[in-house]
Amino acid sequence: MGLWTYGGALLPRWRGAVIAMDGILLATLGVILAALGLMIAHRSPRFAVVLALASVCFVPIWIGARIGFNGNLFAPAAVLATTAVAVALLPVRGLRPSPIDAVLGLLLLFATVSFVTSDPGLALSFLVTPFSYFVGGYAFGRIAAAQIGVDTVYAAVAILFTVVAVLAIVEFVTGINPFTALRVDGSLYREWGDIQPRGGINRAEGAFGHPIALGCCLALAIPLALAARLHFVLRLGMVGLMLVATVLTFSRIGIICAFLGVALCALFLVRRLSGRQRIALVAGGVALALPMLPLVTTILGAAGDEASNSADYRADLFPLLTEANLVGFADSVNRSPVGNLSFGNFVSIDSQLVLTGLTSGLLALFAVVLVMVAAIILLLRGRAEPATIAVIAQLPALATVALITQYTVMLWLVVGVAATSQALARPAQASSRMPLAAPRLTPVPLFPSPLRPRSPGE
């Protein structure tokens, strides 16, 4: 409590010592970093992948560069880094196609069709995210996993998100978030630059701009960390730190996804974890959850109606799908003369599934749900790779949370890794199911044929 009080006293001074960044300086810095990134990617692909992942973990969403003909589009550093490294790692030999490629193409197609079926200005505002956040993260995950190896990506995610977890724990103990000091004059900083409280205390959010984004990204990293080719005790410690940091976000959906990921790995990650290791994982998860449960219930109880109202609000969103069209925006989506969006009686949609149906149409939503069902079937058949398990553990979040800040990039990054890892595993799984061919037996005559010419050695 002493550290908490001391950190809280220092927080106003720290927030006062912000770093104001000029837009031209940021753009120049972005160009320099992009050029360096391309050079590094060609000479050291692994190091370039680590740098791109670090941009997701440690660079806030409001830091980036303005692009486009008149600079009206803003690209965060995480989007720029992942996209640049993905391009620099091309070409990739032997990259097998994945059904997810077609699904992402359909989502882009449906988003583009909205230009014809809806207000073009409104459609453009929703088209930027699929073409930048979705494609950049997905292409990076697909290409990086194929170029440097899936195991290397798992190890990099494990190490970097362990650092993220440690910083989140330090943030909660001290009350200081250094990333909010990187102030940039823009709408993204005004939207995500403040610390979110719950129950009278500040929640950990790191560089992710919101506790939900931090919690869900840590939950995504947990199955990948468990699958990394590192010593099991080290992996167990990494996951323990990630679970603690997730709890300190006090994001219910982040906590649910994190422990669901642990449970799914204990049940289905049989090719990466032995039976004893999976038992140890379950025991460690239970031992960690029991002492932290009173803290979570106390904070949520102190939050009062704030937490329950938030859950009720999300539950009320699903009836909006009855107003969705097959393609394009729902009829209930409106934009006021000053640019404010509304979805019927709602001003925000805290469900990515509902948002997809309302902005891209029911066909796009059906494609996403179909992929989810296919992933669950792979899981139940024991053929799901670790990245696929990580995405499956996010299904509760996709139903109750919209993709925000770096969570958007991170989710599609892991989806890309899952697509590549499943494609690479398919030939091995097929060969393991093939029956062993009977050996061909060449008959040996008991007596040499008189018509066969004798060799010199006979």
Please give the average per-residue pLDDT across 80-94, as a whole number.
Answer: 89
In this prediction the pTM is 0.86
The pLDDT of residue 27: 61
Averaging pLDDT over each range in 78-82, 297-301, 434-438, 444-448, which range is the top one? Answer: 78-82
pLDDT at 444 over 50: no
User: How far apart are the C-alpha atoms of 227 and 385, rounded to whole Å?
Assistant: 9
The pLDDT of residue 7: 39
Name the average pLDDT for the chain: 84
pLDDT at 450 over 80: no
Q: How many CB atoms lie within 10 A of CB 325?
A: 18
Confidence tier at 451 by pLDDT (50, 70, 90) = very low
Helices (H), ranges, 193-274: 211-227, 232-248, 252-268
User: How far apart are the C-alpha atoms of 224 and 209, rounded to whole Å?
Assistant: 23
The pLDDT of residue 374: 96
Please give the average per-residue pLDDT across 16-26, as a whole number.
Answer: 52
pLDDT at 69 over 70: no
Contact 74, 188 (CB under 8 A): yes
pLDDT at 11 over 50: no
User: How far apart are the C-alpha atoms of 218 and 223, rounded to whole Å?
Assistant: 10
Query: Which residue, among 295, 291, 261, 266, has the nearest Cα to 278 in the 3D structure?
Result: 266
User: How far apart are the C-alpha atoms of 132 and 135, rounded to whole Å?
Assistant: 6
Tell me how far apart the 2 most distant CA atoms of the chain are, in Å: 105
Higher pLDDT, 21 or 444: 21
CB burial string 64-89: b at 16+ within 10 A, e below? bbbeeeeeeebbbbbbbbbbbbbebb
Tens of pLDDT along 366-412?
Answer: 999 999 999 999 999 999 999 999 999 999 999 999 999 999 999 99
Residues 6+ away with beta carbon under 8 Å from 193: 60, 62, 180, 183, 209
Please give the average per-residue pLDDT across 280-298, as a whole number.
Answer: 92
Q: How far is CA 115 from CA 237, 257, 334, in A?
A: 49, 35, 15
Tens of pLDDT along 401-436?
Answer: 999 999 999 999 999 999 999 999 876 665 555 555
The pLDDT of residue 137: 96
pLDDT at 274 over 90: yes
